[in-house]
Amino acid sequence: MGILEKIAEIEREISRTQKNKATEYHLGLLKAKLAKYRAQLLEPSKSAGAKGEGFDVMKSGDARVALIGFPSVGKSTFLSLMTSTESEAASYEFTTLTCIPGVIQYKGANIQLLDLPGIIEGAAQGKGRGRQVIAVARTADVVIMMLDATKGDVQRELLEKELESVGIRLNCPKPNIYFKPKKGGGLSYNSMVPLTHCPEKLVQLILHEYKIFNAEVLFREDSTPDEFIDVIVGNRVYMPCLYVYNKVDQISIEEVDRLAHRPNSVVISCGMKLNLDYLLEQLWEDLALICIYTKKRGERPDFGDPIIMRRGASVEHVCHRIHRTLASQFKYALVWGTSTKYSPQRRVGLTHIMEHEDVIQIVKK
């Protein structure tokens, strides 16, 4: 029996099994086996030839955004509207056959946008060019899931299932579980909160499925068996996802309102160029980017060329971005903006956390 057949058999057994207290160990074991087979399926074949044309796009700019969706939902039109790149758009499916990069210029940042070929159902098993598309999506900072507003929720559910099966977790935090395999000593099992999903026996069964018999496990939150399996596997990617519903000019205003109020969702129309500005604002928030302006002594701040950093960046990060030797020559900084109590705040150290549109003047030793 091949891996695909084994995966299908386990999925059928999971769907047949009723979820209750008596079956939680059996279900946990099935999920562990399923995750193991899916990991094997995604491993590149040793006899594989050259990479698919157009999929080895170099990462550039301040952030990378992957644009995924089913064929003919408007991804190529969206890329052409948002960037200076022309991506072929037509009314038939699979117009785009390779990964086409473009650059969104917004608030001084260069955001790389990748138009990926349309995903089909079964992409995780390699149908179409699914594996290459999903491999590129894993390298992105944010996923834009382009959906056809006229198709209801079917497309969203199918795409989420495909991404879930290859270890991409959308809009959820990394499980707060400490896990470390050991050479001996058996299983050390502890928790900081009462656990309702992962008793010690189930944890032991899951670990045995992965041939792990000695480990330290500490639950810092009430996690599920699926989350614990994700921690063991260790190659899961946790990223924000923006659900973009295109073609809203073809549905009722009530349906537009329902879709617009869903979490992490934006409604647009590429054909009529509706709501694209709001989409860019939401994308900026999800990327967690901030602009920081520099100032030389005795001169006005340079508002024309901001430094783009991630939210939570410190003065030391800014120094490294300007020049690799600047942090070692740093004496103190003057900072103007919302991150300070006063404007300017003097004698600011390397650990000070910067905020959006702060101005910084660095004084060297």
Contact 94, 117 (CB under 8 A): yes
53-108: pLDDT as tens digits: 445 677 788 999 999 888 888 888 898 899 877 655 544 344 445 778 889 999 99
Give the count of domains, the chain.
3
Whether 52 maps to a domain, the answer reads no
**Is the same domain home to 199 and 298?**
no
Question: What is the separation, in whole angstroms, between the first and last Cα of the chain?
Answer: 69
Last residue of some domain: 263, 286, 309?
286
pTM tops 0.85, yes or no: no
Q: Around 273, how many Cα atoms within 13 Å sit in the side-chain half-sphere?
A: 3
Here the CATH number for the domain that contains residue 303 is: 3.10.20.30
Q: Is residue 36 part of a domain?
A: no
Residue 333: is it exposed, middle or buried by C-beta count within 10 angstroms (0-12/13-18/19+)?
A: buried
Domain of 216, in residue numbers: 176-222
Q: Is the torsion defined by CA of 338, 342, 345, 350 positive or negative?
A: negative
Average pLDDT, the chain: 85
Q: What are phi and psi of 363, to 5 degrees?
A: -110, 125
Q: Which residues of the chain have pLDDT under 70?
A: 1, 21-22, 41-56, 86-97, 118-132
Predicted local distance difference test score (pLDDT) of residue 89: 52
| Of 160, 179, 162, nearest in space to 170 by CA | 160
Same domain? 129 vs 248: yes
Peptide bond before 344: cis, by omega within 30 degrees of 0? yes
Would you say residue 129 lies in a domain?
Answer: yes
What the block records as the tokens of 238 is 């946790």
In a domain, 58, yes or no: no
* In-domain check, residue 57: no
The one-letter amino acid at 234:
G
My answer on whether 257 and 163 are in the same domain is yes
Query: 165 and 243 share a domain?
Result: yes
What integer pLDDT is reported at residue 125 of this predicted model?
52
Q: Are residues 247 and 336 in the same domain?
A: no
CB 83 within 8 A of CB 103: yes
Residue 328 tokens read as 């070692």
DSSP code, position 283? H
Q: Which two tokens stand for residue 108?
A: 């001084």
301: left (phi over 0), alpha (psi -120 to 50) or beta: beta
Q: How many CB atoms lie within 10 A of CB 132?
A: 21
